[in-house]
């Protein structure tokens, strides 16, 4: 039976970079944020978002993610409403994807909110990726061209590294990508995932 490895970490920790490195070993990877971004364009979700948050979050019929983020990361109850709309759709999509990849010994489910969403309960193994706060903030500013204030609000809305680590089997410290890759290699050896396909 396919084992599910949960890969998580706060915004800017570099978990997607680690996921893409692990992909080179032939492990199927499900990156929840990327899939959610695609699924949020579906009629099912856009209608629910408009009903909940109003037309102001759309521009020319296209969801403005920055406007939505400004709303939900200022009010915890709004974030809960957003998650209640998006998470069930992503969950169904992941279950279908898992069925398609049921020949794999391991798959990786990568998401920032593995614990907050309760998805960790379905994981056989959990890996948390960490990095110093300032490193994370710098990475996200460079990647998303957003403000420090908004990033810190998003970090505050997520679990702390300490909370994640307490429920994880492995931790990858990602200040240096080379050191992080070495740690990932060690974990793969422990899990006996050694065949590389790159």
Binding residues for ATP: 12-17
Contact 15, 112 (CB under 8 A): yes
Vertex 159: Cα angle to 138 and 22 (nearest 5): 65
> How many Å apart are CA 49 and CA 29, to the nearest integer?
27
Which residues sit in the known binding site?
A: 12-17
Cβ neighbours of residue 69 closer than 8 Å, sequence gap 6 or more: 150, 154
Location of structure tokens 């909370």: 163
> How many Å apart are CA 162 and CA 139, to the nearest integer?
20
């Amino acid at each position: 039976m396919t084992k599910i490895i949960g890969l998580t970490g706060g915004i800017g920790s570099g978990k997607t970079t680690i996921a893409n490195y692990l992909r080179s070993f032939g492990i199927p990877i499900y990156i929840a944020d990327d899939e959610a971004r695609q699924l949020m364009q579906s009629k099912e979700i856009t209608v629910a978002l408009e009903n909940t948050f109003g037309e102001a979050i759309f521009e020319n019929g296209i969801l403005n993610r920055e406007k939505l983020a400004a709303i939900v990361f200022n009010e915890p109850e709004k974030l809960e409403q957003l998650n209640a709309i998006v998470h069930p759709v992503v969950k169904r999509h992941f279950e279908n994807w898992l069925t398609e990849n049921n020949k794999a010994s391991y798959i990786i489910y990568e998401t920032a909110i593995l614990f907050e969403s309760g998805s960790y309960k379905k994981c056989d193994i959990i890996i948390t990726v960490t990095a110093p706060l300032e490193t994370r903030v710098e990475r996200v500013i460079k990647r998303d061209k957003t403000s420090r204030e908004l990033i810190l609000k998003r970090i505050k809305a997520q679990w702390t590294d300490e909370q994640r680590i307490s429920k994880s089997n492995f931790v990858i410290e990602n200040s240096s990508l080379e050191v992080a890759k070495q740690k990932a290699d060690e974990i793969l050896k422990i899990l006996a995932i050694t065949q590389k396909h790159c």
